[in-house]
Structure 1
C-alpha cells in the first residue's frame, strides 16, 4: 500500500509541476568531495559471495572506494554482516540470524549458494557453485582462508579494513523494535571509534533517530520516510544526514536524474545511487548514472564499474576531496524534471557516450573435487589473465528470474 500511495502522489506532484522547497543545508559535508565512489554493494554480490570477507577483499583490491554492508543482531548481542533476517538465502543453514551466536554464524558456508554473475541461486538445477565448500576447506581458494567464506561480524570487517570507508546499513527482522535493537548495539560498538569514514543508514527512520541520539559523531544517510519527504516536497532532512542513498527508479519513476542530483548538491547532500532490482546492474546503466553527476554508485558488479570508470576517465576520490567534474559544475544546465512515469531507466547525460555492449564470457564450469580459485589481486602487465574456469564473471550475464528488492523499491521487476 505504501509503495502504491507514494508512487501515485509522486506522479501527481510531478504532473502538477510541484516546486520543491530547499532543505536545510549540511555545512562542510566531506562526502561532497568524494566523487565518484565505487561503493561495492555487499562487496559485489554478483561477482563474489555477498557480505563475505572474500567479497570485501576482492572489491577492495580491484579498486572499490567504499564497502557497503548490512548488519543484523545475533543471539549473543553481536552484529553479523548479513543482508537478510534469516540465513537461508546465502548460507548452508536455515533459521533466523538472531537465533544463532556470532561463533555459529562464522562457521556457516556463506558461499554455498553463490553463482558467478547471478548472486545467490537456489532453484536452478543447471547452476554451478564454484566456491561451495570453501568455508570447510573442501575447495581451496588461493590467498584466502576458509574463514573468509563464513558470515563475518562488524568488528571483523572494520578490523580487516581500517583504511577503507564503510557504509553500514541497520537491518532488522521485520518489526520496528528489531531495527531499534540493532541501532542501539551498533551505536555502542561505534561509540569510541575514531574513524571518520563511516556512514550509517537504514530504511527505518526511527532506528536512525535513535542511532544519532546515541552516536551523533557518525554520519548518516536519510531513512525511507525522510528521503520520500525530501524527494516529494523538499522537507528538511534530519540532523546528521550527509547523503541521500536512493534507487535508480521507483515504481516506474526515475529518481536519479541530473535535476534531483543538482538539487541535493545545492542543499548540501551527497547522492549515492543503488541498483538492487531498481535498474539493470550493467555497464550501460552505470555509464548513464555517472552522467547524472552522482557522488557514488553501489554496484553488484564493482569490476564492471571500474572498467566504465576507466573508459570514461572518470576522476576518482583523492585525499582532501575532489571538485565536481567540469560537466557537473553548478552553472551547467540541468535536465528538466520528469513529466511522466516513463522511461524507467535513468536518462543519459548527452556528454557521456553510450557504450558498446561486450559479449558475455562463457558460463562457469563445474569445479573439480579440490578446485583452486585465483586470489583477488590485480594482474601484472605481463601476467597471463586467462580466466580460470568456475571463477570468471560475465560482464553482463543473465539476471536471475527473481530479484530480491529492499526498502522502498516497488515489487515490479527490474527494467530489462
Structure 2
C-alpha cells in the first residue's frame, strides 16, 4: 500500500512539473512577449506622428506607438519630431515660434503621399483622447531644453486623462535628455520612464547602468549597440530594453535573438 501511495505522489509531482495549468502557461507566454512599438506610428506606411500613422499602428496590432512631443508658442503640447516644421509639413519655422492655430493650419501629410493630404499636427491631448484604452503610447520628450516646464505639462495631460495610474495599456515617457526624464519622474513617479541612448562605441558603463536603474524602468539604445551581453546587463538591473529604430527584417531578427523586450520600428509587421 505504501508503495502504491508513493507511486501516486511521484506521479502527481511529475504532473506538476510537466503539466502546468493553462493560466500559468498563458501568463508566462504573455510575460515573454516581445513588444512591437510603432515608431512615430506606423511611419513606414503613413506620415510620421499623424493620426493616420497611429491608426495604422493600431490596425497592424502594434502593442504601443511612439510619439514625439514639443510645445507651441502658446504652451500647447504638440506631436512632431523636428524642432522645425519644414521637413514634415508645407510650412516653415520653429515649432516653438508658432501658435497651435498656426501649427494646425499646416498640411502634415502631403509630403509622404498625396493620399494623406490634409493630415494635421496632433496635440498630445487629442492622441490620448482617441487612443486611451486602444494602444500603449511611448511618449518621447524632444529637445526639452527649448521648452521649460514641458515635463509638468505632460504630467498634467496624463492626469487629466486618468493615465497616471496603472492601466492595461502602457504609458511610458522617455527622452535622450536624462535630466528631463528625472524631472518628469520626480513630478509623476507612477508613470514608468525610459532613457534613450544614442550610439556610443564605448557602450554603457556600470556607473551609468546603476544610475539609470535608480529611476528608470527602460533603457532604449540604438539597435547598433545591442547584443546579448547588453540585454543581460540591463535585465540584471531589473530594467527592460526597447532598441530603435528597425527598418529591415534582418535587424528585427537579430534583436529578437538577443532577447530584447521590445522593438521600436517603422514597420510593425516586421516583428514576428
Q: Please say if residues 218 and 240 of structure 1, whose CA atoms lie closer than 8 Å, have aligned partners that are also in contact.
A: no
**Residue 207 of structure 1: aligned partner:** 180
1:294 paired with 2:265, answer: no
**Residue 143 of structure 1: aligned partner:** none
**Residue 87 of structure 2: aligned partner:** 89
Matches of 2:196 and 2:249 in 1, distance apart?
Answer: 28
After superposition, the Cα gap between the structure-2 partners of 1:103 and 1:50, relative to the gap in structure 1 and judged at 3 Å, is same
Deviation at residue 160 of structure 1 after TM alignment:
0.7
1:74 paired with 2:44, answer: no
Matches of 2:223 and 2:262 in 1, distance apart?
Answer: 12
Where 1:76 maps in the other structure, the secondary structure is coil
Matches of 1:191 and 1:229 in 2, distance apart?
Answer: 39
Aligned residue runs from structure 1 range 26-65, under 5 A:
33=31, 35-65=33-63
1:280-323 Cα distance to aligned partner (Å, 9 max, x none): 61112111111111011111112333xxx1xxxxxxxxxxxxxx
1:244 paired with 2:197, answer: no
After superposition, the Cα gap between the structure-2 partners of 1:203 and 1:131, relative to the gap in structure 1 and judged at 3 Å, is same
User: Would you tell me which structure has more helix in proportion to its own residues?
Assistant: 2
Structure 1: 5+ residue stretches without partners: 1-31, 115-128, 136-148, 250-254, 310-416
| 1:162 pairs with one of 117, 132, 136 | 132
Where 1:85 maps in the other structure, the secondary structure is coil
Deviation at residue 62 of structure 1 after TM alignment:
1.1
| 2:239 pairs with one of 257, 265, 269 | 269
Matches of 1:266 and 1:258 in 2, distance apart?
Answer: 12
| 1:283 pairs with one of 239, 249, 262 | 249
| 1:102 pairs with one of 94, 100, 103 | 100
Matches of 1:184 and 1:101 in 2, distance apart?
Answer: 19
Alignment coverage as a number of residue pairs: 234
Q: Highest relative contact order (Cα 8 Å, sep 6+), 1 or 2?
A: 1
Matches of 2:151 and 2:235 in 1, distance apart?
Answer: 28
TM-score scaled to structure 2, two decimals?
0.79
Q: Please say if residues 128 and 161 of structure 2, whose CA atoms lie closer than 8 Å, have aligned partners that are also in contact.
A: no
Deviation at residue 180 of structure 1 after TM alignment:
4.0
After superposition, the Cα gap between the structure-2 partners of 1:211 and 1:159, relative to the gap in structure 1 and judged at 3 Å, is same
| 2:158 pairs with one of 185, 190, 194 | 190
Aligned residue runs from structure 1 range 14-413, under 5 A:
33=31, 35-114=33-112, 129-131=113-115, 134-135=117-118, 149-163=119-133, 164-172=135-143, 177-195=145-163, 196=166, 197-222=170-195, 224=197, 231-235=204-208, 236=210, 237=212, 239-249=214-224, 255-275=225-245, 281-305=247-271, 309=272
Where 1:273 maps in the other structure, the secondary structure is coil
1:248-272 Cα distance to aligned partner (Å, 9 max, x none): 11xxxxx111111112112211110
1:44-70 Cα distance to aligned partner (Å, 9 max, x none): 222110000001001111111101000
Q: Please say if residues 179 and 204 of structure 1, whose CA atoms lie closer than 8 Å, have aligned partners that are also in contact.
A: no
Larger Rg: 2
Where 1:231 maps in the other structure, the secondary structure is coil
After superposition, the Cα gap between the structure-2 partners of 1:181 and 1:112, relative to the gap in structure 1 and judged at 3 Å, is farther
TM-score scaled to structure 1, two decimals?
0.53
Q: CA RMSD in A?
A: 2.4
Matches of 2:79 and 2:93 in 1, distance apart?
Answer: 16
Structure 2: 5+ residue stretches without partners: 1-29
